[in-house]
C-alpha cells in the first residue's frame, strides 16, 4: 500500500495547501519537496493524528475502521455508497468552497483532511478507482479509542432517574480491583466483520465461524477473542445485518447501509435491542462448563429477559454491586427463571456427567447468569466490570428501562488554524 509521502507527491497543489491548513503547517518559503516533507512530518505525528481522530464524528471514524479491516483499501464506488460522495476539486474550487471545513459527506471530510486518498489499480475488468489509507498513516491511527465520549445528555439522564427499590449492598469504588470499563467497541468490531463479509464471506458451522475463519478474523478485532467473535456473528444475524446461506456468512447489503449511516448511539441501541429479542444466539450454549444437548427445553429470549428483569428489579442503579451477591439473590427469589424442572434438561458438564436436580443450580443457572453479565452485557457496553463486581453504564440503565436512551450530541468541532 502506498505511503503518505508518495500520496502527497501525487496530490494537486491546491490539495497540498488545504492539507497544510488542516494540519497546521506553514509552507511559506519552502520549496515543493521541503513542503511535502514538512507536511508528511505533521501528518505522521501521533499527537496530531490523535487530535484529528478525536475531531471526527462516529461515522467518519467508522469509515476508517472499515478500511482498516479491509487491508486499508476499498473500491471507491463501494466506499461512497456507504459514506457519501467525494467532490473532486481543483485549486480554485478548494480555495472557494473549503471542503475541509464544509464537507458534504463523511468520505469528503476524510479525503480533504488527508486521512484517505484515491488511486487507481488494475483489475481483470480494467482500471478501478480505489480509496485507501496510506500505510504509515494507518499504523498510527488511534483506532482503539472507543470509550463513551461526547455523551452530553448523560448527566441529565442520570439526574432524571428516580431510584427504585434496591435489594443489594453497594460496593465502594476504593474496594474495586481489576476494573474493566465498558465501551462501544462492539460497533467497531461489527463494522469490521461486515466489511470483511462484504469482500470475502466466511464459512460457518451452526452459530460459529470455522476455526480457519476465526484465525483470519480475530486479529482484526479491537477486543480479540473467539467468544466475542461468535457473539458478534450472532448479533449481526439477529440485527439483520448478516445472513447465512449454504454454510457461508454474508453481509446483508439491504440493511447494511442504514445501520452504518446511523449515529453511534443508535447503532449500539439497535444491537442491544436485537440481542434482547433474539432466539438465534443462545447463551446457554456459550456458557463455559456447560454442554446442552439438542432438544433441551430452552427459550433463549425468555431466559435472557427474565434475567434482565431481575437485574432491573434488584441491582443499585448508581453503584457498583457484587455479581456473586446478585446470583445468590436470584437463587433465593426466582430460582426457576431458567429451568422450571431440574430433572428433564439434558446438560452435561466438562466430564460428560448430566447436571440434574436443584443441587446443580450454581453450575447451570449461576454460570449462565455470570456469562450473561461478563459476556454480552459487557461487550454491548451495558456493564462496567471489576473483580466480582459490576456497574450499569448510562446505556445499561437505558437498556433496562431505568432512564431514557441518551442522545449523544457530537458537535462539529472547528479546527483552529
The arithmetic mean of pLDDT across residues 314-342, rounded, is: 90
Predicted confidence (pLDDT) per residue in 154-186, tens digit: 444 443 443 433 457 788 888 888 889 998 899
Per-range mean pLDDT, top range of 28-32, 213-217, 369-373: 369-373
pLDDT higher at 342 or 131 = 131
Q: Would you place residue 153 in the very low, low, confident or very high pLDDT band (cuts 50, 70, 90)?
A: very low
The strand pairing partners of 121, in sequence order, are: 128
| Selection from 223, 203, 227, 221 nearest residue 213 by Cα | 203
pLDDT at site 342: 83
Cβ atoms of residues 270 and 414 within 8 Å: no
pLDDT at site 145: 60
pLDDT at site 211: 94
Predicted confidence (pLDDT) per residue in 2-44, tens digit: 899 999 999 988 999 999 999 999 988 888 999 999 999 999 9
| Selection from 179, 115, 113, 189 nearest residue 146 by Cα | 189
Distance CA 155, CA 139 (A): 36
Helices (H), 251-322: 253-261, 264-277, 300-314
Q: Is the pLDDT of residue 304 over 80?
A: yes
The arithmetic mean of pLDDT across residues 71-78, rounded, is: 84
Provide the grid cell at 125. 475488468
Q: Is the pLDDT of residue 111 over 90?
A: yes
> Which of 70-84, 308-322, 354-368 bottoms out in mean pLDDT, i.e. has the lowest?
70-84
Q: Would you place residue 261 in the very low, low, confident or very high pLDDT band (cuts 50, 70, 90)?
A: confident
Distance CA 265, CA 262 (A): 8
Backbone phi, psi, residue 322, to 5°: -85, 125
Q: Rg (Cα) of the chain, in Å, rounded?
A: 25
Q: Would you place residue 146 in the very low, low, confident or very high pLDDT band (cuts 50, 70, 90)?
A: low
Distance CA 105, CA 86 (A): 7
3-state secondary structure at position 310: helix
What single string gives the DSSP state of each residue in 177-205? Answer: -S-B---SHHHHHHHHHHHHHHHT-EEEE
Q: Would you place residue 351 in the very low, low, confident or very high pLDDT band (cuts 50, 70, 90)?
A: very high
Distance CA 26, CA 41 (A): 12
* Cell 433465593 sits on residue: 332
Cα separations (Å) of 391 from 88, 317, 396? 48, 8, 9
pLDDT at site 167: 55
pLDDT at site 269: 93
Provide the grid cell at 4. 503518505
Give the helix/strand (H/E) hosting 392: strand 389-392
pTM of the model: 0.70
Q: Chain-wide mean pLDDT for the chain?
A: 86
First vs last C-alpha separation in the chain = 30
The arithmetic mean of pLDDT across residues 73-102, rounded, is: 88
* Cell 446505556 sits on residue: 395
Strand 291-292, strand 347-348: pairing: antiparallel
> Which of 47-61, 177-191, 396-410 bottoms out in mean pLDDT, i.e. has the lowest?
396-410
The arithmetic mean of pLDDT across residues 69-80, rounded, is: 82
Provide the grid cell at 313. 428489579
Q: Is the pLDDT of residue 417 over 50?
A: no
pLDDT at site 406: 79
The arithmetic mean of pLDDT across residues 112-137, rounded, is: 89
pLDDT at site 383: 95
> Which of 248-252, 280-284, 337-341, 404-408 bottoms out in mean pLDDT, i.e. has the lowest?
404-408
Amino acid at each position: 500500500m502506498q505511503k503518505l509521502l508518495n500520496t502527497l507527491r501525487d496530490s494537486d497543489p491546491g490539495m497540498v495547501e488545504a492539507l497544510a491548513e488542516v494540519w497546521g503547517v506553514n509552507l511559506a518559503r519552502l520549496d515543493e519537496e521541503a513542503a511535502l516533507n514538512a507536511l508528511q512530518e505533521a501528518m505522521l505525528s501521533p499527537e496530531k493524528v490523535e487530535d484529528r481522530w478525536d475531531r471526527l464524528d462516529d461515522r467518519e471514524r467508522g469509515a476508517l475502521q472499515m478500511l482498516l479491516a479491509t487491508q486499508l483499501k476499498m473500491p471507491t464506488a463501494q466506499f461512497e455508497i456507504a459514506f457519501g460522495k467525494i467532490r473532486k476539486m481543483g485549486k480554485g474550487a478548494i480555495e472557494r468552497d473549503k471542503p475541509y471545513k464544509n464537507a458534504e459527506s463523511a468520505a469528503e471530510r476524510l479525503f480533504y483532511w488527508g486521512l484517505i486518498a484515491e488511486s487507481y489499480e488494475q483489475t481483470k475488468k480494467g482500471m478501478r478507482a480505489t480509496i485507501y489509507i496510506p500505510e504509515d498513516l494507518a499504523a498510527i491511527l488511534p483506532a482503539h479509542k472507543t470509550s463513551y465520549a461526547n455523551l452530553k445528555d448523560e448527566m441529565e439522564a442520570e439526574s432524571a432517574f428516580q431510584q427504585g427499590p434496591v435489594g443489594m449492598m453497594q460496593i465502594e469504588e476504593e474496594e474495586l480491583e481489576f476494573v474493566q470499563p465498558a465501551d462501544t467497541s462492539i460497533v467497531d468490531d461489527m463494522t469490521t466483520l461486515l466489511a470483511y463479509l462484504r469482500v470475502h464471506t466466511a464459512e460457518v458451522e451452526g452459530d460459529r465461524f470455522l476455526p480457519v475463519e476465526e484465525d483470519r478474523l480475530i486479529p482484526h478485532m479491537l477486543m480479540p477473542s473467539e467468544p466475542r467473535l461468535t457473539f458478534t456473528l450472532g448479533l449481526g444475524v439477529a440485527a439483520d445485518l448478516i445472513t447465512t446461506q449454504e454454510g457461508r456468512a454474508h453481509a446483508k447489503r439491504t440493511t447494511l447501509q442504514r445501520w452504518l449511516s446511523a449515529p453511534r448511539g443508535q447503532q449500539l441501541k439497535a444491537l442491544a435491542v436485537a440481542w434482547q429479542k433474539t432466539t438465534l444466539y443462545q447463551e446457554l450454549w456459550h456458557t463455559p462448563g456447560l454442554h446442552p444437548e439438542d432438544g433441551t427445553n430452552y427459550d433463549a429470549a425468555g431466559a435472557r429477559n427474565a434475567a434482565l428483569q431481575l437485574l432491573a428489579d434488584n441491582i443499585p442503579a448508581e453503584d457498583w454491586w457484587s455479581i456473586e451477591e446478585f446470583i445468590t439473590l436470584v437463587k433465593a427469589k426466582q430460582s426457576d427463571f431458567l429451568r422450571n424442572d431440574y430433572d428433564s434438561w439434558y446438560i452435561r458438564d466438562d466430564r460428560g456427567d448430566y447436571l440434574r436436580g436443584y443441587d446443580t443450580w450454581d453450575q447451570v443457572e449461576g454460570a449462565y447468569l455470570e456469562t450473561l453479565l461478563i459476556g454480552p452485557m459487557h461487550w454491548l457496553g451495558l456493564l462496567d466490570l471489576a473483580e466480582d463486581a459490576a456497574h450499569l453504564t448510562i446505556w445499561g440503565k437505558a437498556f433496562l428501562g431505568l432512564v431514557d436512551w441518551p442522545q449523544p450530541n457530537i458537535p462539529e468541532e472547528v479546527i483552529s488554524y
